[in-house]
Amino acid sequence: MNKILLALALTALSAASTTTRAEEVAEITLTADKIQFIFDIKEFSVKPGQKVKLTLINPADSVTRQPHNVLIVKPGKKDVVGMAANNAMADPTFLTTKQAVPDSEEILHHSKLVQAGEQDTIEFTAPTEPGDYPYICTYPGHWAIMNGVMKVVE
């Protein structure tokens, strides 16, 4: 009898902890390299529908001082959004008002353009559809190498 109660209690506990994990906020920090145009992590995982708090840190550097941003885009759309950024460079407001974010329906979420020594945090809900969601920096010339993958997995 006691064993059955213990088994029931353990089952209830594990169900509760599973629920808690799915509801936890995924706190992710991406740090730009001081010299190269790359992020420090190439991929991270979140759960479908999970709340995500994503911080982009741009460490100050007296030599390069490159601004960076981060955009989460739809699966398979890294190049489409990157090319849209290339094409937007003729727009005089691209690096100011637009924060180096091109007009594209393939963009799900984006930070502001983060200057050297600054950081920006965005909060969003992860897609409910599992898959590989690329993240890229669309400051001119960066996206082809400054990218990674947000994996949405159960």
3-class SS of residue 142: coil
If one asks whether residue 137 binds Cu ion (CB under 5 A), the answer comes out as yes
If one asks whether residue 30 binds Cu ion (CB under 5 A), the answer comes out as no
Closest approach, Cβ 67 to Cu ion, in A, equals 7
Q: Which of 77, 100, 139, 152 binds Cu ion (CB under 5 A)?
A: 139
Q: What are phi and psi of 20, to 5 degrees?
A: -60, -45
DSSP states of 32-79: B-SSSS-BS-SEEEE-TT-EEEEEEE----SS----B--EEE-TT-HH
Q: Which one, 150 or 152, has the nearer CB to Cu ion?
A: 150
Closest approach, Cβ 146 to Cu ion, in A, equals 4
SS (H, E, C) 90-123: CCCCCCCCCCCCCCCCCEEEECCCECCCCEEEEE
Q: Which of 68, 74, 78, 110 binds Cu ion (CB under 5 A)?
A: 68
Among the candidate windows 7-15, 29-37, 57-65, 85-93, which touches Cu ion by CB under 5 A?
Answer: 29-37
Q: Which residues bind Cu ion (CB under 5 A)?
A: 37, 68, 137, 139, 142, 146
